[in-house]
Amino acid sequence: MNKIDETKAFKPVNIAVLTVSDTRTRETDKSGDTLAERVVRDGHVLVDRAIVTDDVGLIRGQVKKWIDDPRVEVVITTGGTGVTGRDVTPEALEGLFEKKIEGFGEVFRWISFQKIGTSTMQSRATAGVANGTYIFALPGSTGACRDGWDEILRHQLDIRFQPCNFAELMPRLNEGKMPRSG
């Protein structure tokens, strides 16, 4: 059903990883480490990495900086997607989205359901496109980051993945808009 088309050349994607947490530091950020390691392992370019606290303005500010940077094609966040008062990543990101990718959260929760059952309902994983940049928000657990990358993003960011993938659409994300500067 889904496969890699070996006749196509792999094309690395430029990715930035943002950890959203009130408590994690670079030394204790296992989820950010998990994503960064997988990005590089699978042949992509880790352009930047940051940690911000659970604050709409800080999250939005960092992501906006990256979506305004023509080197960054994808932003992946980890953390802040739950339902507590401090979990504000979806609110911060969805305010930036020009288009929401509904299926990302749905597929993430479907995959997660197979592993953690109905607890997956607590995840508000989301995704969208802003300024020609994909933005994917994953929960803060290392398991969620592994699942999100290994089961979805690894495939969708590989231009060889068939029958279709997000990577092949990158040149068309800004159709009908002014080109990105840089």
User: Looking at residues 72-94, what average pLDDT do you find?
Assistant: 96
For 13-168, CATH number out of 3.30.70.890, 3.40.50.1440, 3.40.980.10, 3.40.50.300 equals 3.40.980.10
User: Looking at residues 58-63, what average pLDDT do you find?
Assistant: 98
DSSP state of 54: S
Distance CA 65, CA 44 (A): 20
pTM of the predicted protein model: 0.95
User: Considering the chain, what percentage of its residues have pLDDT values greater than 70?
Assistant: 97
CA neighbours within 13 Å on the CB side: how many for 21? 22
pLDDT-derived band at 179 (thresholds 50, 70, 90) equals low
Taking only the tens place, the pLDDT of each residue in 2-21 is 799 999 999 999 999 999 99
* Domain parsing of the chain, residue ranges: 13-168
